[in-house]
Amino acid sequence: MDFFVTAIDTDSGKTLVSAILCEALHADYWKPVQAGLPRDADVVKDLVTNKTTTIHPERYILQHAMSPHAAARLESITIRTADFTRPSTSRDLIIEGAGGCLVPLNDTEFVIDLVPKLNAEIILVADLYLGSINHTLLTVEALRTRGLNPLGIIFNGEPNTESERIICHHSGLKVLLHIGKEPVINRQMVKKYAEQYNRLRTQ
């Protein structure tokens, strides 16, 4: 199965979640569009300890750390969803989006428009900050308006029981994992949450 990791904002923790999912599922990893350096693929590679995960090359690597449509324009590149093809692999594939789901690829298409083309299940990452309830519910509404229903949600950061409760109440999303506010992000931390994810998905 393929999973598309998207989020409610740019710094929600998509790359960390992608590494955890790769570790848990021994899945491959692919970031279709990389805008700015360092490469998220290199971060995932450094965090995963299993010997199965393969890191597939990006379709586009843009030098500027900004919205892909803006970076592409600066570099005289045109990004189109028609240009993307799923990497060849028989394993599960973790696909990491760029920024939030409505980050533009060009003047007419958004990052989330890759999902129907790639036929992947959506995992939504939400960090918990003042305003995150609104941003999360708006993201879910935007997805469902397009006929896309997330498989579930992963909360990342300092726990907020009431925020999490009301988000789940209104969205109906299943909580796949809680990632706490960790002082260090390393392989041991990723392995810990990968084990938690596997326990939760078998319950």
| Residues designated catalytic | 31
**Per-residue tokens: 45:** 């590679």
Q: How many CB atoms lie within 10 A of CB 161?
A: 8
* Distance (Å, whole) CA 142 – CA 137: 9
Residue 128 in contact with residue 162, Cβ under 8 Å? no
* Distance (Å, whole) CA 113 – CA 104: 10
CA distances from 119 to 77, 86, 129, 173, 202 (A): 25, 9, 31, 20, 23
* H runs (alpha helix) in the chain: 14-25, 40-47, 68-74, 114-118, 132-145, 161-171, 187-201
First CA to last CA distance, the chain: 19
Residue 72 in contact with residue 62, Cβ under 8 Å? yes
* Distance (Å, whole) CA 87 – CA 76: 25
